[in-house]
Every structure is written in structure tokens, then in C-alpha cells.
Chain A
Amino acid sequence: MSAAPLSLEGIHKSFGTKPVLRGLDAEVQAGEIFSIVGPSGAGKTTALRLLDLLDSPDAGRITFHGKSYPIRSPESLAQRRRMVLVMQNPTVFRATAFENVAYGLWLRGVPDAELRGRVFAGLDFVGLLEAAKESAEKLSGGEQQRIAFARAAVLNPEILLLDEFTANLDPFNVRLLEQSILRYRHETGCTVVIVTHNLFQAKRLADRVALLLDGRFVEVAPAADFFEHPVRPETRAFLSGEMAY
């Protein structure tokens, strides 16, 4: 049996004297949507940055199919190019929507003809084909986030990391992006890790859900069990809104 595409073993991370992650352990299975929920400041974004090899843990190991990569090594760049992180706030380059979606393909040296085909397919996937020539900066927040998703999707990542990717968006764009993710996972079999504090979203999208509290996963369970039959008292308190943080 092959190792999990993504695994965290005893991850610790501090900023200055403040510990943020204190022994994070989890295994994400191939093709699943794994959602990390938790209150603000629990360390969700920090965990996602570590998973994307943008930062290194103080202790512990992150492995991809059983292999770990020292940050800033050529091997870590190669691994980073097999996954994509979509950030919370839509950040677009000062360029057209087409150029934004083409960016990652350009970095990978994809030939022009293939690049054009993949970019137009990506824009079509998020319903922004007609905006190809428009300045990405002039698009609405929701459209910019759809551009960010298309920019990630055209790279055919093995692992897609999404950090509060629909925060501050209107219900139409939230629904559209969620549908895009489910469709994309269905079509590609991509493994998806979603960080969110929107419990409804986690319920709608995730196969498994992990509650991150005080730098640790206190409960990891299939979505139905997590929401209907939580085991830990912290999870029950978090779901019922009784937890003060």
C-alpha cells in the first residue's frame, strides 16, 4: 500500500515565544476533501503554509507519499509545483485575467499553444471566459477569487490547498466556487485541503473534518460523524457555539 499523499507527524511551530502549533498529526488520503476547522488564531493558516512548503516547522515532519523535503531545496520546489495554495484574500497580478491564469503555466515553461488552451479552459471552468482580456485588478472580489481558483486549477495539482477561499464573498460566488471545487475534484481526483471557519461550508464540501484547537487536532472524523456525533467535548462546544475564544 502506498503512503498517503500528505502526512503531518508531530508538527510544532512557534513565532517568537508564542507557540502556534503544538504537535499536529494527520494523514490526508488521496482524492479526499479534508477540511480543517477551528476558531480564529488556532493556527489553521500556519498549518497550510507549512503544508505548501512556504515555511518550515520547528519540529516534526511533513511527508508527501512518504518523502519529506527540506524547504528551499530543488526537491521542495518540485514538490511545491505538484500542489497549489489559494490564499484567503484574492491576490492578482497587475495583468489581464488571461495572464493571471497563465502565470503558473508560464513558470513551468508550458509551450504557448498548450498554455493558451489550458488557460481558456480554466477561465471557462470558472465562468470568466469573456473577461480574459480585462485587467484582473478591475474585476470584483468574487471574480478575482475565481481567477485565483482557475490559476490553481489549470496547473492540475495533485494537492489543492485552500485557505478561507470564500471569506468575504457574496453567496453567489461562494456557491459558484464550491461547485467548481467539487466538480474539479470529481474530474481530476485531486486531493483537497480546505481551511475554513465556516462550518456549513465544511459540511457541504468535506469528506473528513479536523478541529484545530490550541495548535492540535482534537478530533478528526468523517464529516457526517464530526457534525452529527462528535466524540470530544471540545468539538461539541465548538459546533454548538458555546466555545469562547
Chain B
Amino acid sequence: MTDFSEILQIVGLSILVSGTSTLIGSVVGVPLGVLVALRKFRGRNFVRTVAFTFYGFPPVLAGLLVFLILSRGGPLGFLGFLFTPIGMILAQSVIVMPIVMGITISAMMTVEKRLHDTSLALGANERQWRTTALHDARVGVFTAVMVGFGRAISEVGTVLIVGGNIRGQTRVLTTAIVLEISQAHYLEATIFGIILFVIAFAVFAFLQRLQAKGVV
């Protein structure tokens, strides 16, 4: 059975891991998406295709990849991040980044098609055009971050492989649900499910409120 303090710890770790990985994925994914969408360079279409392929990258594969990199024999094994929240954050960032990047590319390309000539015709230089495009695509970019967070908070395979679902250390809401179901603790699993839903709802409601107020 899981006590209240443990539930709080699981909820806290879920928010910390998902929030941090969304932040990292967005900090990397948004600028890369802008760059790929707006910069004309050799092989741009190939990079776009790769980005969209990773958009649908299977989480279990991402988990395996990060596991191999962080395991004792792996290139970053000496850091000791395997079965730690840091390792889980890294793994989820690998999942979130392509999603944020892919949606950002789509949003920016739509804006480019619609506004590029208008912006230049009004006297924008390339730097000013990029700023304009990012500003105009802000709702799309914001959606990218929201979808990234949604993917992170609901992710189970990656965190299970890299985190190990260790009680009091790397257990998050999704892995706790899997564990409770495997032990036939359906009530506990349902409670965790409701908590997960409420957190996701609260975060999205807050973000949508920001959007409605014109903050983004």
C-alpha cells in the first residue's frame, strides 16, 4: 500500500521530471525548429524529414537508447545517471524535443508561406523577418510546448526503462499505475490515474488561460 507522503513524493517527482524535460526539450526544440523552417540551407528537406521521423520516435526505443548510453558500459555511464531522476529527465527530453521541434517547424512554415513576402515588402531584413515569424507563430509554438508536456507527463516506457520505478526514488505516476495494476491494486491505480488527469488538466487549463489573456 502507498501512504499519503509517498503519493505526494510521486506526484512531485512526476511534475519535476515532466516539467524539466519539457523545458529542456523546448529550449532545444524551438530554436532548432525555427532554424530548420526559416533558414535556407543545403539538405534542409532531409533535416525536416528526419525531424518529422523522430516526431513519431517510439518511446521504448528512446528509453533503450538512453539506457545504453547511461548504463555502466555506455559512453556516459561514468556519470551514474541511470536509475536516477536526472536519467529520466534526459530520456524524456529525447522524447519531447522532436515533438516540440516538429510542431514548431509546421507552425513556422505556415507563417512563412502566409507572411514572408508581406514582411519583406514592408521592409523587413532577414533577422526582423525571423522575429516576426516567431511572434506570429507563437500560438503554434506554444501548442508545441503543451503537446510536449502532455507527452512527457503521460510517458511510461522510457521512465520505466531508465528510471527503474524504484520506490521513493524514481517512481512517477505512470509507473506507479503500471505497478499497482500488475499487483491487482485497481483502486490505487485508479487514484493515481485521477491524480495524473487532474495535473494534466490543471496545467493545460493554466496554459490556455495564458493564451486567452494574450500572454502568448
Given contacts A94-B136, A107-B128, contact A87 B123 (CB under 8 A): no
B139/A108 in contact, CB under 8 A: no
Please report the C-alpha to C-alpha distance between residue A63 and residue B99 in the assembled complex, in whole angstroms. 47
Closest chain A CB from B143 CB (angstroms): 13
Chain B interface residue count, CB cutoff 8 Å, equals: 17
- The reply to whether A52 and B121 form a contact with Cβ atoms under 8 Å apart is yes
Name the B residues within 8 Å of A80 (CB-CB). Answer: 120-121, 123
| Residues of chain B with a CB closer than 8 A to A81's CB | 123
Chain B residues with CB below 8 A from A52, complex form:
121
B124 at the interface (CB under 8 A from A): yes
Chain A contacts with B in 21-64, Cβ cutoff 8 A:
49, 52, 54
Q: Is the CB of B115 within 8 A of A91?
A: yes
Known: A77-B123, A108-B123, A155-B123. A91 touches B139 (CB 8 A): no
A77 and B121 contacting across the interface, CB-CB below 8 Å: no
Q: Which residues of B contact A49 (CB under 8 A)?
A: 117
CB proximity to A under 8 Å, residues B137-189: 138-139
Q: Is the CB of B117 within 8 A of A151?
A: no
Residues of B within 8 A of A161 (CB): 121
Q: Which of B118, B123, B124, B128 contacts A91 (CB 8 A)?
A: B118
Query: With the chains together, A152 CA to B121 CA distance in Å?
Result: 9
Please encode chain A, from 134 to 169, with 1 for each CB lying within 8 Å of some chain B CB and 0 for all others.
000000000000000001100100000100000000
- Which of chain A's residues have a CB closer than 8 A to the CB of B139? 94
Chain A interface size range: 20 to 34
Contact A93 B132 (CB under 8 A): yes
Q: How far is the CB of B131 from chain A (nearest CB, A)?
A: 10
A104 within 8 A of B: yes
In A73-115, the 8 Å CB interface with B consists of: 77, 80-81, 84-87, 91, 93-95, 103-104, 107-108
Q: A93-B132, A93-B136 are in contact. Are A84 and B122 (CB under 8 A)?
A: yes
Residue in A54, A86, A93 whose beta carbon sits within 8 Å of that of B120 in the complex? A54
- Residues of B contacting A54 with CB < 8 Å? 117, 120-121
Once the chains bind, are B114 and A91 in contact (CB under 8 Å)? yes
> Which of B114, B115, B117, B122 contacts A107 (CB under 8 A)?
B122
Q: In the complex, A161→B123 CA distance in Å?
A: 13
Chain B: CB-nearest residue to A163: B121
User: Is B125 engaged at the interface, CB distance under 8 Å to the other chain?
Assistant: yes
Which of B123, B125, B135: most chain A Cβ within 10 A?
B123
In the assembled complex, which residues on chain A have CB atoms less than 8 Å from the CB atom of B132? 93, 103
Give Cα A205–Cα B135 distance, bound, in whole angstroms: 37
In the bound assembly, the distance between CA atoms of A108 and B124 in angstroms comes to 8
B residues less than 8 Å from A77 (CB atoms): 123, 125
13 other A-B residue contacts (CB within 8 Å) besides A86-B121, A93-B115, A161-B121: A54-B121, A80-B121, A84-B123, A85-B117, A87-B121, A91-B115, A91-B118, A93-B136, A94-B138, A103-B119, A104-B123, A108-B123, A151-B122
Which residues of A are in contact with B by a Cβ distance under 8 Å? 49, 52, 54, 77, 80-81, 84-87, 91, 93-95, 103-104, 107-108, 151-152, 155, 161
- B binding-site residues for A, Cβ under 8 Å: 114-115, 117-125, 128, 132, 135-136, 138-139
Interface pairs (25), CB distance under 8 Å: A54-B120, A77-B125, A80-B120, A81-B123, A84-B123, A85-B117, A86-B121, A87-B117, A87-B118, A91-B114, A91-B118, A93-B135, A94-B135, A94-B136, A94-B139, A95-B135, A95-B136, A103-B122, A104-B122, A107-B122, A107-B128, A152-B122, A155-B122, A155-B123, A161-B121
